Chain A
Amino acid sequence: MTAERRQVHLAAHFPGVNSTTVWSDPTAQSQVEFSSFEHFARTAERGFFDYLFLAEGLRLREHRGEIHDLDVVGRPNTLGILAAVAAVTRHIGVVGTLSSTFNEPAELARQLATLDHLSGGRAGWNVVTSSDAFHGGNFRRGGFLPHPERYERASEFVALAKKLWDSWDDDAVLGDAAAGEFLRAGAVHDVRHRGKHFDVDARSTVPRSPQGRPIIVQAGDSPDGRDFAAEHAEVIFSRHAEFDDGRRFYSDVKGRLAGRGRSEDSLLILPAVSFVLGDSPADAEEKAREISLQQISKPTAITFLEQVWNRDLSAYDADGPLPEVDPDPGEQITRGWARAFEENQAKIAAWRAKADAEKLSIRQLVIAVANRHGFVGTAAHVASEIDRYVQNRASDGFVVVGHLTPHGLDEFADAVIPELQERGVYRTEYAEGATLRENLGLPAPHRLTDQIGATA
């Protein structure tokens, strides 16, 4: 029976720069010291996760013209910390978010291939397509890319990166000392690329890496984003963590694969999900309430409303009723957030109605509408929910988001993982020497050979 059950895949999201991450807890530690990354990665590896996942920061977030100071602030360079994490782990994948707008293919492809070599085939890249002038202010060309072209550039970027990754034959490094042949004849191919966004001639310096190519992850949700995913992605980092919505998204994206000659199992869909564990359902609910109060401090609640209202609400009391003023339709007062804050009269009206009906303060309302926890319950309950999603094709697993640095995953590894193993839906050990792609059960990439020419 168990052999027929779909297997659960899990990624471990290092706590991010947002209000989910609780820094005010007495056990919370540094978000930048390497010891935190090491602990988190080792915990994830102890729990047999497929990969560690890192978000990226390209500019400190700003609110009302000043650096936002209420959440955790500051994080490392993605590639640098992944390389260091790879050095202290053996099996777990290292996957990072990296912009296709503020990087260049020759450099990023090379860095990722290097990470794949040094990690023994555990590298992955979450492709993001930032393009705004706010982030661009820190980079050579500023906000140079019109918004509609961001996926176009991303797609061309990845296509060029694949050519570079594929440009050395697997056995190109011959090392025949007697014959004096370090490279095999004709085994390194020059890459020539002429496109709208890139005009490149390159001979790669990096031999083909253990995975051939790093795993491509993608998180965009727009139609363009879904098409990009169907074309390039091997994992989707999805926002669709509600069961029914998850099933709709799952079938939509998987349905796009056949048209591109891809099989359904060549792409995994992993929604992000937070969790709260308790000894009993009531205990878990109580903990969830406490965590919410940590996550949504009074200033954070006011800031959240300011982002939606798009105006200064600092005179309001977070424990009092919602503001009666209308939102300001002017220029956005908040910059650098991953999610958009579109002014939305209907949403505000609904919130007012909810707050009136349930007699909610500002803080209580923000917790109710913006701070939903993913899975809340006993470890057995959380494991059964994860299993239910996977068996019913609402997802292939989850990107698990802990709310504490660096201990946010400890309980999950200790309590939920054994429950999943008990159910026969989760690995009990890593296959020795397996690559990330092998652990994810994804097919080896089809190597490009037609777009690159042979060397002399």
Chain B
Amino acid sequence: MPRPLHLGVALDGAGWHPQAWRTSDLAAGELFTAAYWTRLARRADEARLDLLTIEDAFAQQTAAPFTPDDRRDQVRGRLDAGIIASFLAPLTRSIGLVPTLSTTHSEPFHLATAVQTLDYASRGRAGWRPKVSADPREARQFGRRDIPAPDFARFQDPTNPLLLELFGEAAEVIEAGRQLWDSWQDDAIIRDVATGRFIDRDRVHRIGFEGEHFSVESASIMPRSPQGQPLVTVLAHARIPYELAAGGADVVYVTPHDEADAVRILGEVREAERAVGRADRIHLDRPLEVWADAVVLLDDSVDAARAALAELEQFDGAAFTSDALIHAGTAESLAEQLLAWQRLGYDGVRLRPARLPADLDRIADDLVPLLRDAGVLDRPDATTLRGRLGLSRPASRYATDHSSPELEEQSA
């Protein structure tokens, strides 16, 4: 039987092309409604995709990264991804829900409990995409810290001090979150009427997290959630973010543009795992799942897809560019691409529909059956997101296991 290929979809606005709203049947204002998000999530859920991610940022979209503009022809405005994900939890059945949440400006404690709450509300389908907010406009919305204008020439530079600071903080946010998620042992709630105790407080642990950027003293306010450790996923394009993923995430989304690129990136991810000592980290004993990202625009023929893309580009007055590969073609040509990545060692793909809901519909109606026929969509019989991806449910790091003195030491 072939290895599974995990399949996610990245939701954002009217799709990843900024002019997609102009070719949609929906009114622009519908992007900000419950009906729209429910429709997208249910479509992805019914197609049995493994997860959906929701993009987010505190600042408005721009045509070019980090370059403020006053354009009104592209989609502007977004709802908060964390709130959307929680709203979708009771409205979906099997799909993982993975909001983008900022590690730079949000409170680590709120993030950790928000993800746990999502895990409860979805009955074990929560994940998150921690995201560094490097845009100075976002910092100005908070007014708490200065973030200088980005130096594009140094975005790949592994010694870039700003990136080292922001990603170092992100690593701490993930680590503090994982500790909070473990802070209640699974058996902490005892409801012992005889002694009047609701919890056994020896099984609830103050984490006492002390980082360079912040500290968190106490335990989570939430009992341990259905997955114990909700799924952590990171989008990464360079050495510093690869190491963030290797040191704290379960899944990394990467952006190969061709086969050589795909091979090179996979090698860099594995190297980053060695560099951070992933194998020795709590709850990270498995190698990172490596997923390739691609923007997809699908039609009945390659020519029709290219024509649709050309129309969007004409609306925009610019060629469409992306950090990820742009695949304008058919479901068949996309399936070939995805299976080629899988043969190179990739574990999954995250598809970014250029147009919503059109390209999500194509994924559900056309791509999923092709991948099913290829035998790569078989999943374990599991109700949680971790379970779907073949990840076990780890015991709390604080759980007392007398056969494992190492673990006891860590809980002291």
Q: Indicate if the CB atoms of B72 and A183 lie closer than 8 Å.
A: yes
Q: Indicate if the CB atoms of B140 and A201 lie closer than 8 Å.
A: yes
Q: Indicate if the CB atoms of A181 and B72 lie closer than 8 Å.
A: yes
Shortest beta-carbon distance, B183 to chain A, in Å?
9
If A67-B201, A80-B121, A177-B22 touch, whether A206 touches B79 (CB-CB below 8 Å) is yes
Q: How far is the CA of A182 from the CA of B316 in the complex (A)?
A: 12
Q: Indicate if the CB atoms of A60 and B77 lie closer than 8 Å.
A: no
Whether A456 sits at the interface, judged by CB under 8 Å, is yes
Q: Indicate if the CB atoms of B107 and A103 lie closer than 8 Å.
A: yes
Whether B315 sits at the interface, judged by CB under 8 Å, is yes
Whether A138 sits at the interface, judged by CB under 8 Å, is yes
**In B85-140, which residues have CB < 8 Å from any A CB?**
86-91, 105-110, 113-114, 116-118, 120-121, 123, 137, 140
**In A115-152, which residues have CB < 8 Å from any B CB?**
115, 117-120, 137-140, 142
Shortest beta-carbon distance, A305 to chain B, in Å?
15
Number of residues in B with C-beta < 8 Å to the partner? 80
Shortest beta-carbon distance, B190 to chain A, in Å?
9
A-B contact count (CB 8 A): 230
Q: How far is the CA of A114 from the CA of B88 in the complex (A)?
A: 13
Q: How far is the CA of A168 from the CA of B79 in the complex (A)?
A: 14
If A73-B198, A77-B116 touch, whether A180 touches B222 (CB-CB below 8 Å) is no
Whether A46 sits at the interface, judged by CB under 8 Å, is no
Number of residues in A with C-beta < 8 Å to the partner? 75
Closest chain A residue to B88 by CB distance?
A: A87
Q: Indicate if the CB atoms of A33 and B120 lie closer than 8 Å.
A: yes
From B210-218, B241-249, B359-367, give the one contacting chain A: B210-218
Closest chain A residue to B111 by CB distance?
A: A77
Q: Indicate if the CB atoms of A173 and B28 lie closer than 8 Å.
A: yes
Whether A415 sits at the interface, judged by CB under 8 Å, is no
Whether B73 sits at the interface, judged by CB under 8 Å, is yes
Whether A291 sits at the interface, judged by CB under 8 Å, is no
Select one of B19, B79, B105 contacting A114, CB under 8 A.
B79
Shortest beta-carbon distance, B72 to chain A, in Å?
4
- In the bound complex, residues from chain B placing their C-beta under 8 Å from that of A58 are 109, 221
Q: Indicate if the CB atoms of B144 and A104 lie closer than 8 Å.
A: yes
Whether B231 sits at the interface, judged by CB under 8 Å, is no
Q: How far is the CA of A298 from the CA of B19 in the complex (A)?
A: 66
Contact bitstring A421-456, B, C-beta under 8 A = 1, else 0: 000000000000000000000000000000000011
Contact bitstring A67-109, B, C-beta under 8 A = 1, else 0: 1011111111101110110111000000000000011101100
Closest chain B residue to A318 by CB distance?
A: B196
Q: How far is the CA of A57 from the CA of B216 in the complex (A)?
A: 15
Whether A299 sits at the interface, judged by CB under 8 Å, is yes
6 A–B contacts, CB within 8 A, in A order: A71-B198, A74-B189, A84-B86, A140-B213, A181-B72, A200-B143
Question: What are the 3 tightest A-B residue pairs by CB atom distance, in nearest-first order?
Answer: A175-B28, A80-B117, A137-B217
Other A-B pairs beyond A71-B198, A175-B28, A182-B21, 4, CB < 8 Å: A75-B221, A80-B117, A104-B144, A139-B214
